[in-house]
Structure 1
Amino acid sequence: MTRADRPTRVGHADPRDVNRLTADLAAVGVRAGQDLLVHCSMRRIGPVVGGPATLLAALRRVAGPDATVVVPAHTVGNSTTGPAFRAATSGLNAAGRAAYEAGLTGFDPATTPSEGMGILAEYVRQQPDAARSGHPITSFAALGRRAVEFTEIHDLDCHLGERSPLGNLFTAGAAVLLLGVGYARCTALHLAEYRPEARRPAGPPPERMYRCYVLVGGRRERRDFRAPLLDASDFPEIGAAMEACLPVGRGLVGAAPSRLLDLRVAVDFATTWMAGHRRP
């Protein structure tokens, strides 16, 4: 049994400090100068002295001052065409749905909290020197030398494609760090769905209309746009195939089974996998 396969000890009585987390991250394979896209479950890591601040300090200590830490800062509840809105308005009549929509706060990258991305992601977003991309549904936040560069482009009709922070991270040769979460949360794999070579034999991904709200000069404005309908349902299968074929760093960070993978290699692998396995 490898260290990564040992049972997670939720609620372990020995809180992790920055030194222990630093050692764990280095053992998984995080190296100096490595830009990181981090998906994290602090609950799976277990008790940490100082919480997300300590984990971020450990990440920055291992990756060093030249590295940039990027996290998802999505706001899925801001869309009236997503599952969060459907769940919140289930059972309401047309008037009730309209009233709920009228209460949606417009997205402001400087102040709008992320939703469901975990406490590390929200902690990173709130740092004074953090940069955040401007997409009202699928933004990313970043800290470090290339934070502005990685987040400055995020087209409205490109949730997770080439003209999003994922495209910049791919070009930069960043790594993906999954801390206590599985491949279903590996946002980078969505980048493969945008590539023409991933669409055979399934053809191009279907598109749909999206609606959300933004704040412009303090005024709430509606945005309607068409973009691909993305599908993460087979990401765990893609992840298993990657681990069978590619070098993937593995280990425990705290009590959390964790993975480190080259983002570019992972996206290229997923592109080929989708072309051979997805069906029309």
Structure 2
Amino acid sequence: MSAGTRPHTRASLAAQLRDLGVRPGGTVLVHAGLRGLGFLCGGPEAVLLALRDVLGPAGTVVVPTHTPENSDPAGWTNPPVPADWWPVIRDGLPGFDPAVTPSRFMGAFAELVRTSPGARRSDHPHVSFAAIGPAAERILTGHRLDDMLGETSPLGRLHDLDADVLLLGVGHGSNTSLHLAEYRQPAVPRQRLGAARLIADGGREWVWWDDVRLDDGGFEPLGVDLDASGAVRLGPVGDGTGRLMRQRAAVDFAVRWLARNRGTETT
């Protein structure tokens, strides 16, 4: 470790989160990359405990628990797979089970929330969210297949609740709420999507739907302008940087930014 670093505890992290502006009793969507936060006494558990200490019993923690590999292999690009594999993968991919299926690429903090006692999870087979706290059911219920990150999704419910977004050790490229702004553009390209999900008898089925073609390619420059707008509070969390913002303000800014910088697109 470099000189000047020190271990960070539940208490010290809670103090930093309070200073950053986390609201007692609030609802917060968290995206976390813990590696950049330094030595955490207790790892992701210390971060979750600190956050819940600040939020209190009336607060709710929400995380993305997406499963991007549960998708049509014909669309895989990183890496692509041969076309003759596609039917094998479609037949063999385990069905998404909200209670069991782990998230992928979402990080240790998201997995800790997903597996915590009392946590709930939405049932979207591709872009689920998990939450713990009194607002969890309201946020997660009714996550429609064909509105992955739109108005009726958990992101839309968070917007209704005037929730916060907290980025810990990650930038706006991980800020899933910005996708809600894509849904609010006057015309956006759409695509056909598929995923496997568990059904009531313990079997599985392949489901298909049409939805917005998501594109986070411009989120980092969007985030630079969002930070500069004054809508984001920046401060130290551990050895890294925390960003806290009202989700409504971030989405409203992103709607205008995308309209200016990406323009309107047609299907």
Please report the TM-score for the alignment, with normalisation by the length of structure 2.
Answer: 0.93
Q: Distance in 2 between matches of 1:41 and 1:10?
A: 19
Q: Does 1:155 align with 2:144?
A: yes
Q: Which residue does the alignment assign to 1:190?
A: 179
Q: Is the 8 A contact 2:90 2:206 kept in 1?
A: no
Query: What is the Cα-based RMSD across aligned positions, in Å?
Result: 1.8
Q: Which residue does the alignment assign to 1:146?
A: 135
Q: Does 1:229 align with 2:218?
A: no
Q: Which residue does the alignment assign to 1:252?
A: 236
Please report the TM-score for the alignment, with normalisation by the length of structure 1.
Answer: 0.89
Q: Which residue does the alignment assign to 1:216?
A: 199
**Larger deviation: 23-32 or 214-223?**
23-32
Structure 1: unaligned runs, 5 residues or longer: 1-8
Query: CA shift at 1:64, angstroms?
Result: 1.3
Q: Does 1:238 align with 2:222?
A: yes
Q: Distance in 1 between matches of 2:68 and 2:55?
A: 30
Q: Which residue does the alignment assign to 1:28?
A: 20
Q: Distance in 2 between matches of 1:11 and 1:86?
A: 42
Q: Is the 8 A contact 1:89 1:96 kept in 2?
A: no
**Larger deviation: 150-159 or 24-33?**
24-33
Query: CA shift at 1:146, angstroms?
Result: 0.6
Query: CA shift at 1:12, angstroms?
Result: 8.0
Query: Which of 65, 74, 78 in structure 1 is aligned with 2:70?
Result: 78
Query: CA shift at 1:193, angstroms?
Result: 1.0
Aligned CA distance change for structure 1 residues 244 and 82 (closer, same or farther; 3 Å): farther
SS at match of 1:95: helix
Q: Is the 8 A contact 2:180 2:251 kept in 1?
A: yes
SS at match of 1:44: helix
Q: Distance in 2 between matches of 1:222 and 1:159?
A: 17
- Can you list the C-alpha shifts for 1:193-217, whole angstroms capped at 9, x where unaligned? 111xx33xxxx11111001100012
SS at match of 1:78: coil
Q: Distance in 2 between matches of 1:98 and 1:86?
A: 17
Query: CA shift at 1:247, angstroms?
Result: 3.3
Q: Which residue does the alignment assign to 1:134?
A: 123
Q: Which residue does the alignment assign to 1:106?
A: 95
Q: Distance in 1 between matches of 2:181 and 2:74?
A: 21
One-letter identity of the residue aligned with 1:47:
F
Q: Which residue does the alignment assign to 1:205?
A: 188
- Can you list the C-alpha shifts for 1:93-138, whole angstroms capped at 9, x where unaligned? x333322333311101111100000000001001120111111000
Query: CA shift at 1:51, angstroms?
Result: 1.5
Q: Distance in 1 between matches of 2:2 and 2:116?
A: 28
Q: Is the 8 A contact 1:10 1:44 kept in 2?
A: no
Q: Is the 8 A contact 2:73 2:86 kept in 1?
A: no
What is the count of residue pairs matched by the alignment? 263
Percent identical pairs in the alignment equals 43
Q: Which residue does the alignment assign to 2:113?
A: 124
Query: CA shift at 1:82, angstroms?
Result: 7.7
